[in-house]
Amino acid sequence: MVKSSIVGYPVIGENREWKRALEAFWAEIISEEELLRTTKDIRLANLKKQQDAGVDRIAVGDFTLYDRVLDTSTMFGIIPSRYHWKGGQVSISTYFSMARGNDDAVASEMTKWFNTNYHYIVPEYEGQRFQLTENKPLTAYREAKKELGIEGKPVLLGPYTLLKLSKGYEEIDVPSIILQLIPLYQKVLQELQDEGVQWVQIDEPILCTSISSDEMKTVTEIYLQLTKNINSLNVLVQTYFDSVEHYEATLALPVAGIGLDFVHGGVKNLENLKKYSFPDDKVLAAGIVDGRNIWRSDLNVKLSLLGKIQQHVESGNVWIQPSSSLLHVPVTIQSEQKLDSTIKNALSFADEKIKELNVLKAALQQGKESVASDFKQNEAALTAFNQLPARKREEVRQASSGSTLSDSKRNLPFAERKLKQQEKFQLPVLPTTTIGSFPQTPEVRITRTKWRKGEITDQQYKDFVKAEIKEWIQIQEELGLDVLVHGEFERTDMVEYFGEKLDGFVFTEKAWVQSYGSRCVKPPIIYGDVVFTKPMTVEESVYAKSLTDHEVKGMLTGPVTILNWSFVRDDLTREEVTNQIALALRKEIESLEAAGIHMIQVDEPALREGLPLKQSEWNHYLDWAVNAFRVATASVEDTTQIHTHMCYCDFNHFIEAISALDADVISIETSRSHGDLVESFKEYHYDKGIGLGVYDIHSPRVPAVEEMTEIINKGLEVLEPSQFWINPDCGLKTRKREETVAALKHMVIATEQARERLGVSAVK
């Protein structure tokens, strides 16, 4: 009999109760005991919802206080020495120090989880001896069973994915790391078996990347060792985000079930299923409902897909589930009260996706006629949505289809533009700047909320924003920064702000998803063709420029980031949607330039996360992603300086593509990776301006001048002083005022000292 299963569920709660509890604990408003009690209540409420919805295989152990990869690191004692852990169960203090840093130690590196907008804490290998500090899946299983009577499916990150997501080791270290991990995983599984657990889910999304045949042999050997003494415990190896790279070898793993994604990479998985079939003695956990996007499933299409799958799988050996964990989508559409009904009816969040699974399960078990009304409602909702005029703007389609590379080149090559820009701006060597945003204080957020509720007038809100801009322009001047920003006080989110001002987007009230730690974002929804209507950023940028003799950067979010940080319509290719956004941004950039703003930053922090999991598909993605950036930026004058910013980007893998953006200056995060990024420049000569983030803005700690100096010095080993900019590693929106000013002051001091060492303190 077909069963329903959940790969993972959002941790944040319907009203972000989880976020509020964490931040109250960090602010010392609640105790550790209160934090644990509150998060337990949230965790059990999440499980109860799934239980009440009739899910057959509920994931337990997918809940986290910060990040599941960090949970795994601490569970196995993969803890860097700088946190002074002495062994045994890991304290909350050590756990959050790894995530956020402390007064004495920087946080561990944070980077994107595969090609999603979720960030994980990177495990660091220092040659340490691993140990099992706590069997967290077992603890989660016992809690669910005791409190709710749920026979849960414990979830843990697989050993090979854990290895591949880690840093600090050489290839020669791999065998010894695996030999350390195997007995720890064996112990976890043995204890789960002894407890009477029926199924355990081991996540191995790394199997969907371009791993080699030799690597797959290593995976096979790992699972032979893990399962050799496992008899009554059923192991499900779960993959997602794409098709598995080695289908036959994956299916031959000595486990009881395999989870495959039939949404992202579903074409290839289905082809392999037809070509190679599926073992009669294994369960196929078929991901058929999109776990990463918010569109309502076409139930007829999904039922047809299930019919094709069932032709190749033993009867009763199919589980239907989302394509991945539901942490990538909001909790429930029921919280949305203001959405247009036609659009709302076309949406499906985590809870609604579970209902879709139930309908499909009923159709398979009892026949489609048993849920005929559900299918009829589904078809009517999707038909009405697809007939919306905003989804069929022919003039937009025609314009964006002409966004070719030949339309997206600057008038002069960078070397010639650079000379003109140096003459125009007269900046000192090692110019200092910030990435764009300044602290969004409680006063800023409260005032914006009052304005949105109509409690203050538009003019009152504008006056408030101008006052914030004026104050921070003065602060930047007093600090001695060279290129200033207006602070983005009018913006809630770097994507949402632009989406609100472009046609083709729609917005939600409470559709939050976790980005990193307690940071939640409310992605806009691209439901129609994207159209520029009027200037979006000119007023604030021009006002800031009027207050100072310094250059002030105009601040925009780039087309690829707007795409990757939105929920995107699924009836057009992502390339087509990106071209529409790029043409709209081009008009905004031209408006800024016409208004006298001659430094314009077009941020692309999400360029990396859109990179496909398969290396064979990288070039195609990078070609159109780079082209979209250039479509947006190429029409400016030679003396207008285009900046861009990227977060957590694996620079080594696509440095040539980044250079091809043809931005005059790029700023990149390096602080959490301890300056490792500079090693890239020993292999590749980067000729454009570049700012290596010299301190981590995701941590509340204020780094010492010496820490920033170390990163600056590393950068100067491989970069020319004339191309090196100094800046934080990201925007400062989430930081407090005092720590922001203190950190920037240290940054300026470190820069001045570097100039003195170069003998260019007064040189421009």
Q: Is 698 a catalytic residue?
A: yes
- Beta strand 119-121 with 110-112 is antiparallel
- Using one digit for the tens of pLDDT, what is the confidence trace for 304-324? 999 999 999 988 899 999 999
| pLDDT reported for residue 315 | 80
Annotated binding-site ranges for L-homocysteine: 435-437, 488, 603
- Round to whole Å and give the CA distance between 647 and 603: 10
| pLDDT reported for residue 676 | 56
Q: List all residues 6 or more positions away from 37 whose beta carbon is below 8 Å from its beta carbon.
A: none
Positions in the chain whose pLDDT score sits under 50: 674, 762-764
Q: Would you say the C-alpha torsion 65, 70, 72, 75 has a positive or negative sign? A: negative
Annotated binding-site ranges for L-methionine: 435-437, 488, 603
Q: What angle (nearest 5°) sits at the alpha carbon of residue 582, between those of residues 578 and 587?
A: 155
| pLDDT reported for residue 764 | 44
Q: Phi first, then psi: what are they for 690, rounded to 5°?
A: -150, 135
| pLDDT reported for residue 238 | 98
Annotated binding-site ranges for Zn(2+): 645, 647, 669, 730
- Round to whole Å and give the CA distance between 8 and 35: 22
- Round to whole Å and give the CA distance between 271 and 141: 36
| pLDDT reported for residue 763 | 46
- Round to whole Å and give the CA distance between 397 and 386: 16
Q: Domain 416-758 classified CATH 3.20.20.210?
A: yes
Annotated binding-site ranges for 5-methyltetrahydropteroyltri-L-glutamate: 16-19, 112, 117, 519-520, 565, 609
Structure tokens given for 530:
């994207």
| pLDDT reported for residue 650 | 58
Q: List all residues 6 or more positions away from 330 whose beta carbon is below 8 Å from its beta carbon.
A: 10, 294, 349, 350, 508, 510, 511, 512, 513
Annotated binding-site ranges: 16-19, 112, 117, 435-437, 488, 519-520, 565, 603, 609, 645, 647, 669, 730
User: Are the CB atoms for 565 and 606 separated by under 8 Å?
Assistant: yes
| pLDDT reported for residue 717 | 87
Which one of the listed residues 486, 598, 643, 698 is annotated catalytic?
A: 698
User: Are the CB atoms for 113 and 209 separated by under 8 Å?
Assistant: no
